[in-house]
């Protein structure tokens, strides 16, 4: 099991953030411009861990340095599924983190909930 998956499933946000390279590039499913750096990503992860309900990883695909962690969650009454795509450096820190989510209604619910948390 990937350490990021373990940290998120145990809701240990500090452990998840420690796995991110200080210059990590994070691509959100809701905004075009990537976020750069652990400091920029921290509030997003803090908010999403509160917004997602019934979050659980369903599958893990690994081909180091790349990892795909498939998940399911709910935002309000909207079910969604997605994938965290992670790329690691030689020392195991996550340097690239992309999130994809479907369906459209689920991503719209997530965007609204995240905007309310981050405003």
115 pLDDT higher than 90:
no
- Write out pLDDT tens, residues 48-107: 999 999 999 999 999 999 999 999 999 999 999 999 999 999 999 999 999 999 999 999
70, β-bridge pairs: 59, 83
Q: What is the CATH number of the domain that holds 86?
A: 3.10.450.50
φ and ψ at residue 13, rounded to 5 degrees: -65, -35
Question: Model pTM?
Answer: 0.92
Instruction: Enumerate residues 6+ apart whose C-beta is below 8 A from 49.
Output: 8, 11, 13, 55
- Write out pLDDT tens, residues 15-60: 999 999 999 999 999 888 999 999 999 999 999 999 999 999 999 9
- The residue count for the chain: 119
Are 54 and 74 spatial neighbours (Cβ–Cβ below 8 Å)? yes
pLDDT given for residue 29 in this prediction = 92
Which whole-number Å values give the CA distances from 53 to 24, 33, 80, in the listed order?
26, 26, 10
Count: domains in the chain? 1
19, β-bridge pairs: none
For 79, the domain range is 3-118
């Amino acid at each position: 099991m990937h350490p990021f998956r373990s940290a998120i499933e145990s809701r240990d946000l500090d452990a998840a953030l420690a796995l991110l390279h200080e210059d990590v590039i994070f691509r959100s499913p809701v905004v075009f411009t990537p976020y750069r750096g652990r400091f920029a990503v921290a509030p997003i992860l803090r908010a999403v861990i509160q917004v997602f309900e019934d979050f659980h990883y369903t599958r893990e695909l690994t081909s180091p340095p790349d990892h795909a962690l498939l998940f399911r969650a709910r935002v309000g009454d909207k079910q969604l599924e997605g994938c965290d795509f992670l790329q690691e450096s030689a020392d195991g820190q996550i340097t690239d983190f992309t999130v994809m989510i479907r369906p459209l209604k689920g991503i719209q619910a997530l965007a609204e909930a995240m905007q309310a948390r981050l405003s």
